Amino acid sequence: MLELKNICYSVTEGGREKQILRDVSLKIDERFAAITGPNGSGKSTLAKIIAGILRPTSGSILLDGEDVTACSVTERANKGISFAFQQPVRFKGITVKDLISLAAGKKITVTEACSYLSEVGLCARDYIDREVSASLSGGELKRIEIATVLARGTRLSVFDEPEAGIDLWSFNSLISVFEKMYKRTKGSIVIISHQERILSIADKIVVVANGRVEKEGAREQILPSILGTNACRALTDKMEV
C-alpha cells in the first residue's frame, strides 16, 4: 500500500515561494488507481515525489508501512517502485533486449525478452535488436517502457501521462496493454492522466486541483461527477462493446 501523509511541495520563483502541493494525504491499496485533474494542478509533481525524483518540502511517504521519504530514486526502485516518464528516455547504443535486461536486474534470454515485448503487443523479432533511439516512434517507446516495468515486476508502478505525445492508434493500443497489465499484476498501478478511457478502467480515481486532493473514491462514484452521468454511461458502454 502507498500512503502519502501531509505532502507539501513548494519552489522559489522570482524570489517568491510558490506552493505546488498543499497538504496532500492519500492512501492507495487498489490494484489500479488514476490521478487526474486540470493542467497545472500538481499531478506530475505528485508522481515524481512518489518516485523520489523530487523531495517533498514536508510530509512523509510510506510503502507498505515503511517510510521511504528520505530514500533516493535508486533506493525506491530497489524497494519496488517503478516510474514511467511522460516522454520515455531514448538510449542510443542500447538495444531493446539490453534495456529489458537492465530493468529485470539480470541477463535475460531472447525468449524472455520476446515474451515481455509480446505482452505489450510488439512483434519481438522486429524490436529485440533495435536501438532505443530516435528510430522508434512515441507509441513504440511507450510500449517498450511498459515492457521494462513488467520485467521489473514491482510492487508499485507509476505512469505519468502515458498518453502524452502519441497518436490515436497507439493510444488505443496502450489502453489494451494497461488492461492486460491490470489483469496480471500483483502490485498496484498508478496512472496520472486526464484521458476518460484510462479513468474508466481504474478501480479508484483521485482528483487533484490547486495542489490539493479535491475528491477521491471508487470509479463508479467519481467518474459521473467528472463527466456527467450520461457521458459516463456512454463511455462505459463503448468500452464494453
Cα–Cα dist 76/82, whole Å:
8
- What parts of the chain have a pLDDT lower than 70? 165, 167-169, 185, 228-241
Model-level pTM? 0.81
pLDDT of amino acid 169: 64
Instruction: Name which of 11, 12, 7 is nearest 58 in CA terms.
Output: 7
C-beta of residue 63 within 8 angstroms of C-beta of residue 136: no
pLDDT of amino acid 48: 94
Is the sign of the CA dihedral 190, 192, 168, 99 positive or negative?
negative
C-beta of residue 199 within 8 angstroms of C-beta of residue 34: yes
Is the sign of the CA dihedral 134, 137, 142, 148 positive or negative?
negative
Instruction: Name which of 192, 206, 170, 220 is nearest 84 in CA terms.
Output: 192
Cα–Cα dist 116/106, whole Å:
14
pLDDT of amino acid 230: 45
Q: What is the pLDDT of residues 39-74, one digit of tens each?
A: 889 999 999 999 999 999 999 999 999 999 999 999
With a pLDDT cut of 70, the percent of the chain lying above it is 92
Helix H, strand E, coil C: the string for the chain is CEEEEEEEEEEEECCEEEEEEEEEEEEECCCEEEEECCCCCCHHHHHHHHHCCCCCCEEEEEECCEECCCCCHHHHHHHCEEEECCCCCCEEEEEHHHHHHHHHCCCCCHHHHHHHHHHCCCCHHHHCCCEECCCCCHHHHHHHHHHHHHHHCCCEEEEECCCCCCCHHHHHHHHHHHHHHHHHCCCEEEEECCCHHHHCCCCEEEEEECCEEEEEEEHHHHHHHHHCHHHHHHHHHHHHC
pLDDT of amino acid 229: 47
Contacts of 94 (CB under 8 A, 6+ apart): 102, 131, 132
pLDDT of amino acid 149: 84
